[in-house]
Amino acid sequence: MKAAAVSDYRELARRRLPHFLFEYIDGGSYAEATLRRNVADLEAITLRQRVLKDVSSIDLSTQLFGQSLAMPVALGPIGLAGLYGRRGEVQAARAAQAAGAPFTLSTMAVCAIDEVAAAGVGPFWFQLYMIRDRGFMRDLLAKAKAAGCSALVFTVDLPVPGARYRDVRSGLAGAPGLAGGLRRFGQTLARPGWAWDVGLNGRPHSLGNVAPVLAGQTGLEDFFAWIRDNFDAATTWRDLAFLRGAWDGPIIIKGVLDVEDAREAARSGADGLVVSNHGGRQLDGALSSAAALPAIAQAVGDQITVLADGGVRSGLDVVRMLALGSKGVLLGRAWAYALAGGGGAGVAHVLQLIEAEIQVAMALTGVARVGDIGPDILAG
Protein backbone atom coordinates (compact mmCIF):
# COMPACT_ATOMS: atom_id res chain seq x y z
CA MET A 1 0.00 0.00 0.00
CA LYS A 2 1.45 3.39 -1.01
CA ALA A 3 0.60 6.00 1.59
CA ALA A 4 -0.73 9.29 0.25
CA ALA A 5 -2.36 10.64 3.42
CA VAL A 6 -2.41 10.25 7.19
CA SER A 7 -5.41 7.92 6.86
CA ASP A 8 -3.25 5.52 4.84
CA TYR A 9 -0.66 5.42 7.61
CA ARG A 10 -3.44 4.65 10.08
CA GLU A 11 -4.28 1.55 8.06
CA LEU A 12 -0.62 0.57 7.81
CA ALA A 13 -0.29 0.97 11.58
CA ARG A 14 -3.35 -1.22 12.13
CA ARG A 15 -1.84 -3.94 9.98
CA ARG A 16 1.60 -3.82 11.60
CA LEU A 17 1.09 -3.22 15.32
CA PRO A 18 -0.01 -5.73 17.94
CA HIS A 19 -3.68 -5.10 18.65
CA PHE A 20 -3.17 -3.61 22.12
CA LEU A 21 -0.74 -0.99 20.78
CA PHE A 22 -2.93 0.03 17.84
CA GLU A 23 -5.94 0.40 20.14
CA TYR A 24 -3.87 2.58 22.47
CA ILE A 25 -2.95 4.95 19.62
CA ASP A 26 -6.34 4.93 17.96
CA GLY A 27 -8.79 5.00 20.86
CA GLY A 28 -10.38 7.56 23.12
CA SER A 29 -12.32 7.51 26.36
CA TYR A 30 -15.83 6.19 27.04
CA ALA A 31 -17.93 6.23 23.82
CA GLU A 32 -15.28 8.34 22.01
CA ALA A 33 -17.67 11.18 21.16
CA THR A 34 -15.02 13.87 21.71
CA LEU A 35 -12.50 11.88 19.69
CA ARG A 36 -14.91 11.91 16.74
CA ARG A 37 -15.80 15.58 17.26
CA ASN A 38 -12.15 16.59 17.05
CA VAL A 39 -12.04 15.32 13.48
CA ALA A 40 -15.61 16.16 12.43
CA ASP A 41 -15.59 19.73 13.76
CA LEU A 42 -12.39 20.51 11.88
CA GLU A 43 -13.74 18.96 8.69
CA ALA A 44 -16.88 21.08 9.00
CA ILE A 45 -14.96 24.37 8.94
CA THR A 46 -15.49 25.99 5.55
CA LEU A 47 -12.77 28.05 3.94
CA ARG A 48 -13.13 30.96 1.50
CA GLN A 49 -11.64 30.12 -1.85
CA ARG A 50 -10.02 33.26 -3.33
CA VAL A 51 -8.69 33.84 -6.83
CA LEU A 52 -6.32 36.16 -8.68
CA LYS A 53 -4.11 36.69 -5.65
CA ASP A 54 -0.34 36.66 -5.98
CA VAL A 55 0.55 33.34 -4.36
CA SER A 56 3.64 32.68 -6.46
CA SER A 57 5.79 32.66 -3.32
CA ILE A 58 4.34 30.93 -0.25
CA ASP A 59 6.16 31.43 3.06
CA LEU A 60 5.39 28.86 5.78
CA SER A 61 8.12 29.95 8.20
CA THR A 62 7.30 31.21 11.67
CA GLN A 63 8.76 31.60 15.15
CA LEU A 64 7.58 29.99 18.36
CA PHE A 65 9.21 30.59 21.73
CA GLY A 66 12.33 32.08 20.16
CA GLN A 67 12.79 29.17 17.75
CA SER A 68 12.63 29.55 13.97
CA LEU A 69 10.43 26.88 12.36
CA ALA A 70 10.03 25.86 8.73
CA MET A 71 6.26 25.66 9.26
CA PRO A 72 3.83 26.24 12.16
CA VAL A 73 3.84 22.57 13.16
CA ALA A 74 5.41 20.55 15.97
CA LEU A 75 5.30 16.87 16.85
CA GLY A 76 3.28 16.67 20.05
CA PRO A 77 4.06 14.29 22.92
CA ILE A 78 3.06 10.65 22.42
CA GLY A 79 3.43 8.10 25.22
CA LEU A 80 4.98 4.70 24.41
CA ALA A 81 6.11 5.90 20.97
CA GLY A 82 9.23 3.79 21.31
CA LEU A 83 6.97 0.76 20.89
CA TYR A 84 5.49 1.95 17.58
CA GLY A 85 8.87 1.82 15.83
CA ARG A 86 12.30 0.64 16.92
CA ARG A 87 13.50 3.31 19.40
CA GLY A 88 10.64 5.30 17.98
CA GLU A 89 11.17 8.61 19.75
CA VAL A 90 14.67 8.88 18.29
CA GLN A 91 13.39 8.13 14.78
CA ALA A 92 10.64 10.72 15.09
CA ALA A 93 12.97 13.37 16.53
CA ARG A 94 15.35 12.93 13.58
CA ALA A 95 12.48 13.28 11.10
CA ALA A 96 11.24 16.43 12.86
CA GLN A 97 14.69 18.00 12.86
CA ALA A 98 15.08 17.35 9.13
CA ALA A 99 11.71 19.06 8.53
CA GLY A 100 12.50 22.07 10.70
CA ALA A 101 9.77 21.19 13.22
CA PRO A 102 10.10 20.78 17.00
CA PHE A 103 9.79 17.31 18.50
CA THR A 104 8.21 16.91 21.95
CA LEU A 105 9.43 14.01 24.09
CA SER A 106 6.82 12.60 26.47
CA THR A 107 7.48 11.88 30.13
CA MET A 108 6.04 8.45 29.28
CA ALA A 109 8.45 7.81 26.41
CA VAL A 110 10.37 4.59 25.95
CA CYS A 111 13.53 6.47 24.94
CA ALA A 112 14.85 8.65 27.76
CA ILE A 113 15.91 12.28 27.46
CA ASP A 114 19.61 11.44 27.28
CA GLU A 115 19.08 8.85 24.51
CA VAL A 116 17.22 11.34 22.33
CA ALA A 117 19.80 14.05 23.03
CA ALA A 118 22.65 11.64 22.19
CA ALA A 119 21.09 11.08 18.76
CA GLY A 120 22.19 14.58 17.81
CA VAL A 121 18.75 15.90 16.98
CA GLY A 122 19.32 19.40 18.31
CA PRO A 123 17.02 21.13 20.79
CA PHE A 124 13.69 19.43 21.41
CA TRP A 125 10.75 20.11 23.68
CA PHE A 126 10.06 18.06 26.80
CA GLN A 127 6.55 17.21 27.99
CA LEU A 128 5.99 16.89 31.73
CA TYR A 129 3.42 15.09 33.83
CA MET A 130 3.54 15.97 37.51
CA ILE A 131 4.56 12.95 39.58
CA ARG A 132 4.14 12.97 43.35
CA ASP A 133 7.88 12.66 44.05
CA ARG A 134 8.99 16.28 43.71
CA GLY A 135 12.65 15.44 44.23
CA PHE A 136 12.48 13.14 41.22
CA MET A 137 10.71 15.86 39.24
CA ARG A 138 13.55 18.31 39.96
CA ASP A 139 16.07 15.74 38.77
CA LEU A 140 14.05 15.07 35.61
CA LEU A 141 13.81 18.77 34.79
CA ALA A 142 17.55 19.14 35.40
CA LYS A 143 18.15 16.33 32.88
CA ALA A 144 15.94 18.08 30.35
CA LYS A 145 17.77 21.33 30.88
CA ALA A 146 21.18 19.67 30.60
CA ALA A 147 20.07 18.00 27.36
CA GLY A 148 19.26 21.41 25.87
CA CYS A 149 15.49 21.03 25.76
CA SER A 150 14.21 24.39 24.59
CA ALA A 151 10.64 24.37 25.98
CA LEU A 152 8.64 22.59 28.67
CA VAL A 153 5.16 21.34 27.75
CA PHE A 154 3.27 20.84 31.03
CA THR A 155 0.25 18.58 30.46
CA VAL A 156 -2.50 19.38 32.96
CA ASP A 157 -5.53 17.37 31.80
CA LEU A 158 -4.54 13.98 33.20
CA PRO A 159 -4.93 14.14 37.00
CA VAL A 160 -6.41 10.64 36.59
CA PRO A 161 -6.57 8.45 33.47
CA GLY A 162 -9.77 8.60 31.43
CA ALA A 163 -11.90 5.47 31.11
CA ARG A 164 -10.58 3.95 27.89
CA TYR A 165 -12.68 0.94 27.03
CA ARG A 166 -10.57 -0.13 24.09
CA ASP A 167 -7.49 -0.50 26.28
CA VAL A 168 -9.38 -2.74 28.69
CA ARG A 169 -10.67 -4.90 25.86
CA SER A 170 -7.23 -5.19 24.26
CA GLY A 171 -5.43 -6.08 27.48
CA LEU A 172 -3.25 -2.98 27.89
CA ALA A 173 -5.30 -1.80 30.88
CA GLY A 174 -6.70 -3.80 33.78
CA ALA A 175 -4.75 -6.95 32.91
CA PRO A 176 -1.71 -7.19 35.20
CA GLY A 177 0.30 -10.31 35.87
CA LEU A 178 0.68 -13.49 33.87
CA ALA A 179 -2.77 -13.42 32.26
CA GLY A 180 -2.32 -9.94 30.83
CA GLY A 181 1.22 -10.68 29.71
CA LEU A 182 0.14 -13.82 27.87
CA ARG A 183 -2.70 -11.95 26.20
CA ARG A 184 -0.37 -9.27 24.89
CA PHE A 185 2.22 -11.87 23.91
CA GLY A 186 -0.37 -13.67 21.79
CA GLN A 187 -1.21 -10.44 20.00
CA THR A 188 2.49 -9.83 19.41
CA LEU A 189 2.96 -13.24 17.79
CA ALA A 190 0.26 -12.30 15.29
CA ARG A 191 2.51 -9.45 14.09
CA PRO A 192 5.86 -11.17 13.36
CA GLY A 193 7.33 -8.16 11.54
CA TRP A 194 6.80 -5.93 14.54
CA ALA A 195 7.88 -8.70 16.93
CA TRP A 196 11.26 -8.98 15.18
CA ASP A 197 11.92 -5.31 14.48
CA VAL A 198 10.63 -3.71 17.68
CA GLY A 199 9.83 -6.54 20.08
CA LEU A 200 13.25 -8.19 19.87
CA ASN A 201 15.59 -5.62 18.32
CA GLY A 202 14.03 -2.51 19.84
CA ARG A 203 14.73 -3.38 23.45
CA PRO A 204 14.87 -2.29 26.22
CA HIS A 205 11.13 -1.76 26.60
CA SER A 206 10.57 0.44 29.61
CA LEU A 207 9.55 3.98 30.45
CA GLY A 208 13.01 5.44 30.23
CA ASN A 209 12.35 8.86 31.77
CA VAL A 210 10.72 7.50 34.90
CA ALA A 211 13.02 4.48 35.40
CA PRO A 212 14.31 5.81 38.78
CA VAL A 213 10.81 5.52 40.30
CA LEU A 214 9.82 2.21 38.69
CA ALA A 215 11.43 0.07 41.41
CA GLY A 216 12.96 -2.32 38.90
CA GLN A 217 9.83 -2.70 36.75
CA THR A 218 9.31 -1.47 33.19
CA GLY A 219 6.17 0.58 33.85
CA LEU A 220 4.34 -1.45 31.20
CA GLU A 221 3.14 -4.28 33.45
CA ASP A 222 -0.07 -2.36 34.20
CA PHE A 223 0.43 0.97 32.49
CA PHE A 224 -2.69 2.82 33.64
CA ALA A 225 -2.46 1.51 37.19
CA TRP A 226 1.04 2.96 37.40
CA ILE A 227 -0.28 6.32 36.21
CA ARG A 228 -3.06 6.29 38.82
CA ASP A 229 -0.58 5.45 41.56
CA ASN A 230 2.09 8.00 40.64
CA PHE A 231 0.56 11.04 38.91
CA ASP A 232 -0.25 13.84 41.33
CA ALA A 233 -3.98 14.57 41.28
CA ALA A 234 -3.42 17.34 43.86
CA THR A 235 -1.53 19.54 41.38
CA THR A 236 -2.89 23.10 41.15
CA TRP A 237 -1.92 26.40 39.55
CA ARG A 238 0.28 27.02 42.59
CA ASP A 239 2.59 24.26 41.38
CA LEU A 240 3.66 26.42 38.48
CA ALA A 241 5.85 28.24 40.99
CA PHE A 242 7.63 24.93 41.62
CA LEU A 243 8.12 24.46 37.87
CA ARG A 244 9.38 27.99 37.39
CA GLY A 245 11.88 27.44 40.20
CA ALA A 246 13.25 24.36 38.44
CA TRP A 247 12.92 25.51 34.82
CA ASP A 248 13.98 28.85 33.37
CA GLY A 249 12.87 28.30 29.78
CA PRO A 250 9.46 28.66 28.11
CA ILE A 251 6.58 26.84 29.83
CA ILE A 252 3.59 25.76 27.73
CA ILE A 253 0.39 24.61 29.49
CA LYS A 254 -1.19 21.76 27.53
CA GLY A 255 -4.80 20.65 28.01
CA VAL A 256 -6.77 23.91 28.17
CA LEU A 257 -10.38 23.93 26.90
CA ASP A 258 -12.00 26.60 29.09
CA VAL A 259 -11.63 30.37 28.74
CA GLU A 260 -11.23 30.86 32.49
CA ASP A 261 -8.43 28.29 32.58
CA ALA A 262 -6.80 30.07 29.64
CA ARG A 263 -6.93 33.36 31.53
CA GLU A 264 -5.42 31.64 34.56
CA ALA A 265 -2.62 30.27 32.39
CA ALA A 266 -1.90 33.79 31.12
CA ARG A 267 -1.96 35.20 34.67
CA SER A 268 0.35 32.43 35.87
CA GLY A 269 3.18 33.66 33.68
CA ALA A 270 3.17 30.70 31.31
CA ASP A 271 4.58 31.46 27.89
CA GLY A 272 2.09 29.40 25.92
CA LEU A 273 -0.90 27.11 26.12
CA VAL A 274 -2.24 24.28 23.99
CA VAL A 275 -5.97 24.10 23.39
CA SER A 276 -6.38 20.34 23.73
CA ASN A 277 -8.65 17.62 25.08
CA HIS A 278 -5.88 15.01 25.09
CA GLY A 279 -7.04 13.66 21.75
CA GLY A 280 -10.43 12.75 23.18
CA ARG A 281 -8.76 10.38 25.63
CA GLN A 282 -9.85 12.01 28.88
CA LEU A 283 -13.25 13.69 29.37
CA ASP A 284 -15.60 12.33 26.74
CA GLY A 285 -18.34 14.80 25.90
CA ALA A 286 -15.98 17.77 26.20
CA LEU A 287 -15.64 20.38 23.48
CA SER A 288 -13.55 19.60 20.46
CA SER A 289 -10.35 21.61 20.21
CA ALA A 290 -11.68 23.40 17.13
CA ALA A 291 -14.84 24.44 18.99
CA ALA A 292 -12.93 25.67 22.05
CA LEU A 293 -10.13 27.47 20.22
CA PRO A 294 -11.74 30.70 18.91
CA ALA A 295 -13.01 31.93 22.28
CA ILE A 296 -9.70 31.15 23.98
CA ALA A 297 -7.66 32.85 21.26
CA GLN A 298 -9.89 35.92 21.46
CA ALA A 299 -9.65 36.05 25.26
CA VAL A 300 -5.87 35.61 25.74
CA GLY A 301 -4.22 35.54 22.31
CA ASP A 302 -2.54 38.90 22.88
CA GLN A 303 -1.11 37.79 26.25
CA ILE A 304 0.14 34.27 25.63
CA THR A 305 1.04 32.12 22.62
CA VAL A 306 -1.93 29.91 21.77
CA LEU A 307 -1.30 26.51 20.15
CA ALA A 308 -3.77 23.74 19.41
CA ASP A 309 -4.02 20.02 18.75
CA GLY A 310 -6.78 17.46 18.27
CA GLY A 311 -8.18 15.98 15.07
CA VAL A 312 -5.45 17.34 12.78
CA ARG A 313 -5.01 14.89 9.92
CA SER A 314 -3.75 17.13 7.11
CA GLY A 315 -2.13 20.42 6.24
CA LEU A 316 -5.61 21.71 5.47
CA ASP A 317 -6.50 21.07 9.12
CA VAL A 318 -3.41 23.00 10.19
CA VAL A 319 -4.61 26.01 8.19
CA ARG A 320 -8.06 25.68 9.76
CA MET A 321 -6.55 25.75 13.27
CA LEU A 322 -4.49 28.81 12.39
CA ALA A 323 -7.57 30.53 11.01
CA LEU A 324 -9.38 29.80 14.29
CA GLY A 325 -6.68 31.60 16.26
CA SER A 326 -3.74 29.29 17.00
CA LYS A 327 -0.16 30.30 16.24
CA GLY A 328 0.99 26.72 15.77
CA VAL A 329 -0.34 23.19 15.71
CA LEU A 330 0.84 20.02 17.45
CA LEU A 331 0.48 16.77 15.54
CA GLY A 332 -0.37 13.69 17.61
CA ARG A 333 -1.93 10.63 16.03
CA ALA A 334 -0.76 11.77 12.59
CA TRP A 335 2.88 11.13 13.41
CA ALA A 336 2.15 8.13 15.64
CA TYR A 337 0.37 6.36 12.78
CA ALA A 338 3.24 7.26 10.45
CA LEU A 339 5.88 5.94 12.84
CA ALA A 340 3.99 2.69 13.34
CA GLY A 341 3.26 2.25 9.64
CA GLY A 342 6.53 3.44 8.12
CA GLY A 343 9.13 4.15 10.81
CA GLY A 344 11.13 7.36 10.73
CA ALA A 345 10.67 7.54 6.96
CA GLY A 346 6.92 7.50 7.51
CA VAL A 347 7.14 10.43 9.94
CA ALA A 348 9.30 12.34 7.46
CA HIS A 349 6.78 11.63 4.70
CA VAL A 350 3.82 12.82 6.77
CA LEU A 351 5.64 16.06 7.55
CA GLN A 352 6.30 16.51 3.83
CA LEU A 353 2.61 15.88 3.11
CA ILE A 354 1.55 18.37 5.79
CA GLU A 355 3.90 21.02 4.42
CA ALA A 356 2.69 20.56 0.83
CA GLU A 357 -0.96 20.59 1.92
CA ILE A 358 -0.47 23.81 3.89
CA GLN A 359 1.02 25.43 0.80
CA VAL A 360 -1.92 24.37 -1.38
CA ALA A 361 -4.49 25.52 1.20
CA MET A 362 -2.78 28.89 1.52
CA ALA A 363 -2.58 29.38 -2.23
CA LEU A 364 -6.26 28.58 -2.74
CA THR A 365 -7.35 30.90 0.06
CA GLY A 366 -5.17 33.70 -1.31
CA VAL A 367 -2.67 33.86 1.55
CA ALA A 368 1.09 34.00 0.94
CA ARG A 369 2.43 34.12 4.51
CA VAL A 370 1.54 32.04 7.55
CA GLY A 371 1.28 35.18 9.65
CA ASP A 372 -1.54 36.43 7.44
CA ILE A 373 -3.80 33.41 8.06
CA GLY A 374 -6.76 34.55 10.14
CA PRO A 375 -10.53 34.36 10.50
CA ASP A 376 -11.00 36.29 7.27
CA ILE A 377 -10.21 33.10 5.28
CA LEU A 378 -13.20 31.36 6.87
CA ALA A 379 -16.54 31.31 5.09
CA GLY A 380 -19.78 32.05 6.89
The boundaries of the domain holding residue 309 are: 6-213+237-371
- In this prediction, residue 178 carries a pLDDT of 58
Let me know if residue 343 belongs to a domain.
yes
**Which residue in 264, 307, 256, 260 sits closest to 282, CA to CA?**
256
**Which residue in 89, 91, 64 sits closest to 78, CA to CA?**
89
Whether residue 339 has pLDDT greater than 90: yes
Give the largest CA-CA distance in the chain. 66
Active site residue 278: yes
Let me know if residue 241 belongs to a domain.
yes
Amino acid at 113: I
What's the rounded mean pLDDT across residues 39-44?
98
Rounded CA separation 32/54 (Å): 43
Q: What are phi and psi of 77, to 5 degrees?
A: -70, 135
CATH number at residue 345: 3.20.20.70
Residue 362 to residues 44, 74, 186: CA-CA distances in angstroms? 18, 19, 47
Number of CB atoms found within 10 A of residue 120's CB: 10
Prediction pTM value: 0.96
What's the rounded mean pLDDT across residues 265-277?
97
Let me know if residue 229 belongs to a domain.
no
Residue 1 to residues 7, 13, 23: CA-CA distances in angstroms? 12, 12, 21
Please state the domain count of the chain.
1
Let me know if residue 259 belongs to a domain.
yes
Inter-residue contact 107 to 231 (CB < 8 Å): no
Let me know if residue 186 belongs to a domain.
yes
- In this prediction, residue 348 carries a pLDDT of 98
Average pLDDT, the chain: 95
What's the rounded mean pLDDT across residues 9-27?
97
3-class SS of residue 101: coil
What's the rounded mean pLDDT across residues 273-286?
98
Let me know if residue 254 belongs to a domain.
yes
- In this prediction, residue 177 carries a pLDDT of 64
**Tens-digit pLDDT profile for residues 164-184:** 999 999 988 876 665 677 888
3-class SS of residue 126: strand
